[in-house]
Amino acid sequence: MNIRRITLALLLAATSLLLVAPVAFAEGGAYTVAAGDTLFEIAAKLLGDGNRYLEIVQLTNEQHAEDSGYAFIENPNLIEIGWKLAVPGAAFTPGRVAGGPVWVKASGSSADVRWILPGLRNLDPKIFGTPDMPLGFEEDVGLPLEARMTNEEGTEYTTTAAPGPFSDNFKMIEGTFNLEAVDATLIDGMSTEDKVDFTASFTGPDGKQYSLKILMVIPMGPDHPFLGGVATNFMQHGMTGIGTKLMPTMYVYVAFWGVGELSIDGEVVASNRIVHGMISSNVRDEEYKLVFDDGVDNSKIHFHLILPNIEVTPDGPQTSPVPTGFEMPNGMEQPFLHIMYEDVTLN
């Protein structure tokens, strides 16, 4: 995963802020893309913060609707030399959810909780295509071609080349979670009114006791939109461009992204881990295998809790194994946490 810099100031941004004001284009200007430019670098150079690149995307597309001389940016990772971009002046503040905040309360019991072990992920041809016509290789959310296995004939993709957190392998464990979330802010920005109160506890396959709590939400995603830190009633993963394509396209009732504190057997082992949680349509079959898009069951829900191998540092997110304390059969420590709660109450 190619993680762009998130400043510590962003991660410590307050979660209760002033009413929003629209961006005033008159205070900004226009910029023509030159060789070697990226939106992140343009934002860093002109706005003083590379993480404001989404402001350039939004304003440029708004200007394109009125003046075709401005580019239309469909993929922020793909810009062309000579494109005319609109650059905001005043700090961008994201808008609020129409109709007021959405409040969500949810909990999970120990009736059915699973610790996901590393494993290979079968590749959906609708998402990843074929070796002759590959799809789904977008930077950050896609899967590089070299990370895919093919059949003997080389005509179809089969699985990922290496095991990862989106796996069919699991161990039954016990655990609970409690979530209260507020979705007030519509899109990414340097500020948010979204809020999360989240705690979880669970046992490991080896009997260790784990607990996790969210310290703050992250208002802007480094690789894909975090939608202000909390999002409700939207589509994610798969074909959406929000989150990894290794998960199927699914309906999500609530999702959050935040910085969490992880404890094992009562001792804090990390207080700077990126945490993602979501209540979604069911994406597992009767054998608990991850399905493709056409196998998603919208009549059921479950809760995904994921700590990827990323920690927050003063220099931005860095790749770093989660200190799970769980030794796998190969003698290595599992570098991520992926916990699934199947007995979920959602209000």
Q: Is the pLDDT of residue 302 over 50?
A: yes
Task: Quote the CA–CA distance of 165 and 145 in Å, as a whole number.
Answer: 19
Sequence-separated contacts (24+) of 55-64 with Cβ below 8 Å: 55/23, 55/88, 55/92, 55/189, 56/85, 56/86, 56/87, 56/88, 58/23, 58/92, 58/187, 59/23, 59/25, 59/28, 59/86, 59/87, 59/88, 60/84, 60/85, 60/86, 62/86, 63/25
Give 119's pLDDT tier (boundaries 50, 70, 90).
very high
Q: Of all residues in the chain, what percent carry a pLDDT higher than 70?
A: 91
- Chain center to CA of 43: 22
pLDDT tens-place string over residues 160-212: 999 999 999 999 999 999 999 999 999 888 789 999 999 999 999 999 999 99
Map residue 110 onto helix, strand or coil: coil
Residues in the chain: 347
C-alpha angle 18/20/21, rounded to 5°?
Answer: 125
Give 92's pLDDT tier (boundaries 50, 70, 90).
low
Give 4's pLDDT tier (boundaries 50, 70, 90).
very low
Distances (CA, A) of 250 to 105, 237, 242, 274: 20, 7, 11, 22
pLDDT higher for 23 or 30? 30
Backbone angles phi, psi at 40, to 5 degrees: -60, -45
Task: Please give the pLDDT value at position 44.
Answer: 79
Distances (CA, A) of 209 to 63, 258, 336, 347: 53, 22, 16, 28
Task: Please give the pLDDT value at position 215.
Answer: 96
Give the chain's domains with CATH numbers. 21-87 (3.10.350.10), 102-119+163-346 (no CATH)
Task: Please give the pLDDT value at position 36.
Answer: 87
Q: Is the pLDDT of residue 244 over 80?
A: yes
Give 343's pLDDT tier (boundaries 50, 70, 90).
very high
Task: Please give the pLDDT value at position 26.
Answer: 32
Task: Please give the pLDDT value at position 43.
Answer: 85
